[in-house]
Amino acid sequence: MNERTTTPVRDTSELNQLEERVRRLRTDFPILAREVRPGVPLVYLDTAATSLKPVRVIEALAEHYRQRSANVHRGIYAIAEEATAAYEAAREKVARFINARTPEEVVFTRGTTESINLVALSWGRANLRAGDEVIVSELEHHANLVPWQQICRQTGATLRHLRLTEDGELDLDHFRQLLSERTKMVAVSGGSNVLGTIPPLHEIVRLAHEAGALVLVDGAQSVPHRGCDVQALGCDFLAFSGHKMCGPEGIGVLYGRRELLEAMPPLYTGGEMVKKVSLTEARWNDVPWKFEAGTPPVAMAVALGTAIDYLSEIGFSFIEAHEAAITRYAYERLQEVPGLRIWGPPADRRGAVVSFSIDGLHPHDVAQFVDRFGVAVRAGHHCAQPLHELLGLRATTRASFYFYNLAEEVDRLVEALQETVRKLVRRL
């Protein structure tokens, strides 16, 4: 167990400097000013589940509905044309953000889960056969595991599992052993939502391409924190969600290399995704619109574009520096809690996620107790049940951070956990 009886001496000068700006940024988030009960301010440590929303994004969403609440691509009246222009401008903004070659390589979806399902079901049905193989890692979120289980079962392909090392990182030697001419797809997370593991994506993409396989990156836990240059990375598909990067719920992105998207059949059919329809047949629209059947999430896309502007203004160099500093601080301070064990890589090799267990306490009880102190953390298997089973756990408690979190909030968490241990363990 990681356990300390004395408080270590820490150099928090870098974190203190960064937090001068953090305090200014926090004023952009109205929810951070509220109390969850009288006299108990909110300490939000659950960004891995969903991020908080700045005023600018909230207002962008409302402004769309106030001024141009019309459907896109269909109307020729003023507000419909304005809505269409705003929607497609958001697509262009996303394309620039991830450095896609063209906006047509950006498909709007409902979130990361739908984006991955779109690839697994559309590309998978068209390309996977018995004898083919798909590789996923043992740390994947269910959203990047279950769709591949299903499509492999439907097509007769085999699902292979990339092992983890003892400290929770991907075993690249095992990856090299798994790769073969049978490998058609490698689906891997850009960051673990449990262990904080940051996979070596450039090396994974290089090795997969040398074997002739495609690579899909689940960017739900990486794009909001480090961004992504899809051309520099060389991935074939990238999926991420708006709500984890200060944007609204209900909007996600699938990036795909244009030639791959053009060869894939649509997953959903109906209105807007067609060029011509008769009573007996239909001809599909061009990419990306052939994948966007029905009324798209117009307001959400516009607000996602605003969130991208906001994050770009802050700068990922600042976001990464602050997250690294506060994660190191949390990693050290949490070890002062008796009986607490942190799971995953060391602080200098993880993202802004710290999952832990406490001897004798169920994670749900821990999360519920610290909520008395206004501290919001997540408890459960975090949609990564196989990973928890691999660790010999049913669940963990997770604290996750973003650029709006302060060291004093980590202190509040530690104080709440210490009180939890004093009150709950004593009862056992």
- Give the model's pLDDT for residue 87: 97
Asked if 124 contacts 155 with a C-beta cutoff of 8 angstroms, the reply is: yes
The pLDDT tens digits for 139-164 are 999 999 999 999 999 999 999 999 99
Fold match, 13-53+315-423 / 68-313:
no
Q: With 80 as the cut, is the pLDDT of residue 1 above it?
A: no
Q: With 60 as the cut, is the pLDDT of residue 4 above it?
A: no
Task: Pinpoint the alpha helices (H) of 166-297.
Answer: 172-178, 201-210, 223-226, 230-233, 258-263
> In angstroms, rounded to a whole number, what is the distance separating the alpha carbons of residues 252 and 272?
18
> In angstroms, rounded to a whole number, what is the distance separating the alpha carbons of residues 189 and 37?
37
Cis peptide before 363 (omega within 30 of 0): no
Catalytic residues, which ones?
383
Asked if 25 contacts 404 with a C-beta cutoff of 8 angstroms, the reply is: yes
- Give the model's pLDDT for residue 10: 60
State mean pLDDT over 361-383: 97
The pTM of the whole model exceeds 0.85: yes
The pLDDT tens digits for 210-267 are 999 999 999 999 999 999 999 999 999 999 999 999 999 999 999 999 999 999 999 9
User: Whats the size of the chain, residue-wise?
Assistant: 428
- Give the model's pLDDT for residue 210: 98
State mean pLDDT over 82-107: 98
State mean pLDDT over 292-321: 97
Question: What does pLDDT average to over the chain?
Answer: 95
Asked if 396 contacts 428 with a C-beta cutoff of 8 angstroms, the reply is: no
b/e code 326-350 from CB counts within 10 Å (16+ = b):
bbbbbbbbbbbbbebbbbbbebeeb
State mean pLDDT over 305-315: 98
CATH number of 68-313: 3.40.640.10
On whether the 13-53+315-423 domain is CATH 3.40.50.1370, my answer is no
> In angstroms, rounded to a whole number, what is the distance separating the alpha carbons of residues 146 and 164?
19
- Give the model's pLDDT for residue 268: 94
- Give the model's pLDDT for residue 13: 78
State mean pLDDT over 418-422: 96
One-letter amino acid at 262 equals E
Picking from 343, 350, 358, 344, the residue whose alpha carbon sits closest to that of residue 328 is 350
> In angstroms, rounded to a whole number, what is the distance separating the alpha carbons of residues 75 and 82?
10
Q: Which residue has the tokens 């894939």?
A: 264
Q: With 70 as the cut, is the pLDDT of residue 358 above it?
A: yes
> What single DSSP character describes residue 114?
H
Q: With 50 as the cut, is the pLDDT of residue 176 above it?
A: yes
- Give the model's pLDDT for residue 362: 96
Domain ranges of the chain: 13-53+315-423, 68-313
User: φ, ψ for residue 417 (rounded to 5)?
Assistant: -70, -40
State mean pLDDT over 265-274: 94
Give the distance from CA 10 to its chain's centroid: 31
β strands within 273-322, DSSP E: 274-277, 282-284
pLDDT band at residue 301 using 50, 70 and 90 as cut-offs:
very high
Tokens of 27: 């004023």
Q: With 60 as the cut, is the pLDDT of residue 8 above it?
A: no
State mean pLDDT over 58-75: 95
More confident residue, 361 or 1: 361
**Sequence-ordered list of residues with C-beta below 8 angstroms from that of 69, at least 6 positions apart, any chain:** 79, 83, 299
First-to-last alpha carbon distance for the chain, in angstroms, is 19
> In angstroms, rounded to a whole number, what is the distance separating the alpha carbons of residues 41 and 406?
13
- Give the model's pLDDT for residue 427: 60
